[in-house]
Amino acid sequence: MITEKIQSLLEETAALTATTAKEVEDLRIHYLGRKGVMNDLMAEFRELPQETKREVGQKLNQLKQSIQAQLDTLRKNLPAEDGKKDALDLTRTPYPTPLGSRHPLTLVRNEIIEIFSRLGFVLADGPEIEDDWHVFSSMNFPADHPARDMQDTFFIARQPDIVLRTHTSSVQSRVMETTQPPIRVICPGRVYRNEAISARAHCFFHQVEGLYIDKHVSFADLKQVLLTFARELFGEGTQIRLRPSYFPFTEPSAEMDISCHICGGKGCAFCKQTGWVEILGCGMVDPAVLEANGIDSKEYKGYAFGMGVERITNLKYRVKDLRLFSENDVRFLDQFVGEGF
Ligand code: PHE
């Protein structure tokens, strides 16, 4: 009987499923297509006696609407990728991707590390928040010695004193307390001093520290290593000069100048017409520092040096205002695209 067929088709089509657009289309053709199930029913319907046509006609309409609604739902619920399959055009020209750049301070730091690692120095690291012992006491700064004022210190806590390290020399102490000589380390890092921020000073900057301890280490070794370093970094013709100086942790101590990279030693605004610019402090490690850090000063000697990365970067790239280094202005940073490693 036709009404039973309609009933079972209602149930059958309500349970239809599909996972692709093609499956939905195949179902549509099967049920609603020109040679489909509905069409066969219509043929049967036309043969019915007049008195039943009205009732069966309504049921057929209901069935048709129900199938249509079911197909619509199936189409709507298809997994998204299927509908978007053609959206990815692999032949299209790609958008240009902007290249990033290394920060100039990173470029210069890496270059310094690379030069010293070729000379046999290995990397060492230490915390930026440091105790008084590693920053001052172990480095031979007596408790009330005015030398502590040389470096305006940011205190985190008092008694026991915890500070933001004012120099990377604190890492010397950390290395010595855990390692026996020979020691040959290079320690790059950020340091902090309580200074008003201007074009020429900042409350944080970067240093690279070097420390060499072994049985027969002399000031001549220090001088030769620094000369090699200066020529590697600034070029073959670079001259160095060492001026006597004072640091609590080295004796004797010196400051090193290099011939001005900008005017070639003739005198310019950068070197204040002297032809020389200071780039680092250095000296022979004071025996008191070796002893304070558990190294026998009768057996071992050492040298140390420390330099400011900003200063060297200014020399190499002629950056006039220190504040540019920490402002993250892309107009500044973009200028270093493709420089170094
Ligand atoms: N720590 C010194 C400073 O910050 C630099 C230095 C390091 C000097 C090692 C001598 C030896 O000024």
Give the pLDDT confidence score for residue 81 in this predicted structure. 59
User: What is the 172 CA–ligand 1 centroid distance (Å)?
Assistant: 11
Question: From the CA of 258, how far away is ligand 1's center (Å)?
Answer: 17
Cα dihedral 62, 67, 72, 76, rounded to 10, equals: 130
Global pTM reads 0.72
Exposure b/e, 54-76, CB count within 10 A at least 16 = b: eebeebbeebeeebeebbeebee
C-alpha of residue 209 to centroid of ligand 1, in Å: 7
Q: How far apart are CA 191 and CA 27, in angstroms?
A: 73
- In this predicted structure, what is the pLDDT of residue 92? 83
User: 244 — phi, psi (to 5°)?
Assistant: -55, 140
pLDDT at 93 over 90: no
Instruction: State the residue for tokens 């002297």.
Output: 274
**Is the CB of residue 100 less than 8 Å from the CB of residue 44?**
no
Give the mean model confidence (pLDDT) for residues 67-84: 79
End-to-end CA distance of the chain: 85
- Evaluate if residue 276 carries a pLDDT over 80: yes
- The rounded percent of the chain whose pLDDT value lies above 70 is 96
Ligand 1 lining (C-beta closer than 6 Å): 167, 169, 209, 247, 250, 281-283, 304-306
Is the CB of residue 305 less than 8 Å from the CB of residue 337? Answer: no
User: CA-CA distance, 323 to 202, in Å (whole number)?
Assistant: 7
List 284's β-bridge partners, or say none: 303
Sheet holding 162-164, edge to edge: 129-131, 162-164, 155-157
pLDDT tens figures, 63-74: 999 999 999 998
Measured in Å, residue 114 CA sits from the centre of ligand 1 at 20
The answer to whether 261 touches 275, Cβ cutoff 8 Å, is: no
Q: Tokens 């609604």 label which residue?
A: 69
Query: 20: which residues sit within 8 A by CB, 6+ positions away?
Result: 78, 82
Name, in order, each residue with C-beta under 8 angstroms of 25's C-beta and a sequence gap of 6 or more. Answer: none
Question: Hey, whose CA ends up nearest to atom 4 of ligand 1?
Answer: 167
Give the H/E segment covering residue 83.
helix 80-84
Distances from the Cα of 278 to the Cα of 259, 271, 313, angstroms? 9, 9, 13
pLDDT confidence of 150, banded at 50, 70, 90? low
Report the nearest atom of ligand 1 relative to the CA of 191: 4
Residue 9 to residues 28, 63, 66, Cα–Cα distance (Å): 14, 8, 10
CA distance 303 to 283: 6
Res. 84: pLDDT tops 60: no
Integer Cα distance of 222 and 124 in angstroms = 19
CATH architecture of 104-336: 2-Layer Sandwich (3.30)
Q: What is the pLDDT of residues 311-338, one digit of tens each?
A: 999 888 888 889 999 999 999 998 888 7
Protein residue with least CA distance to atom 5, ligand 1? 306
Q: Which two tokens stand for residue 98?
A: 């902007």
CA distances from 153 to 142, 204, 206, 322 (A): 15, 11, 15, 20
Pocket test for ligand 1, best of 130, 169, 253 (most atoms within 8 A of CB): 169
Question: From the CA of 340, how far away is ligand 1's center (Å)?
Answer: 27
Q: Exposed, middle or buried by CB within 10 Å (0-12, 13-18, 19+), for 312?
A: buried
